[in-house]
A and B are shown apart, each in its own frame.
Chain A
């Protein structure tokens, strides 16, 4: 079974530039998550999709971050314009949902490391 795919693995940009990250979840996983992991900290949820609808985006800085999952499969996270403090690893994860609810087991991609200069 293929895992969660993310690209690019590494990206270096200057502040005020834009960047986009792509994620393809495990086939059949209805729930998709984007997490931000700053060096030395645990992952922090940015946005969560159930199919192509947003479930939770309360921690997403909406003035500069946007995300979409148009067909309920792959997803794109965009940052525009980037700030120095956006330097982090952006993790995509997916999970399947039973009729009784989610299991809590998330399957993570390897992440996209962003450096903002």
Chain B
């Protein structure tokens, strides 16, 4: 079945440092890939997505590129802020075909803490 593996966490960085959170996936079809974020005390929310190979999703300074050859979707940000402290989840969904219902399969999550 489909699965998502994220880098072992947690990750602790100083403000303005470069961030990479690794994500690899296994899927039988041609999935869409997502990063969701959960800020303290809030629900999960979509951060960015990419629906096909070589697409780049971006939002709030975060970027991730869909790499089919390495089955990866690593999350990056050039300069993190304290407000980026949250839990980040990589996820996939097989949206191919009009009958798909958009079920998400999540990785285990990576806790990011950014210090001033």
Residues of chain A touching chain B, judged by Cβ–Cβ distance below 8 Å, are 3-4, 31, 33, 40-45, 48, 50, 55-56, 91, 93, 95, 97, 99-111
Contact = CB atoms under 8 A, between A and B. Distances in A.
B32 A104 contact: yes
The 10 closest A-B pairs by CB, nearest first: A102-B102, A42-B106, A108-B43, A108-B44, A104-B93, A110-B43, A42-B108, A101-B98, A101-B100, A104-B32
A103 B112 CA distance: 27
The size bracket of the interface on B is 20 to 34
Nearest to B38: A108
B104 interface: yes
Contacts of A56: 101, 103
A8 to B, nearest CB: 15
B51 to A, nearest CB: 8
B106 A95 contact: no
Given A40-B108, A42-B4, A104 B102 contact: yes
B54 to A, nearest CB: 18
B94 to A, nearest CB: 9
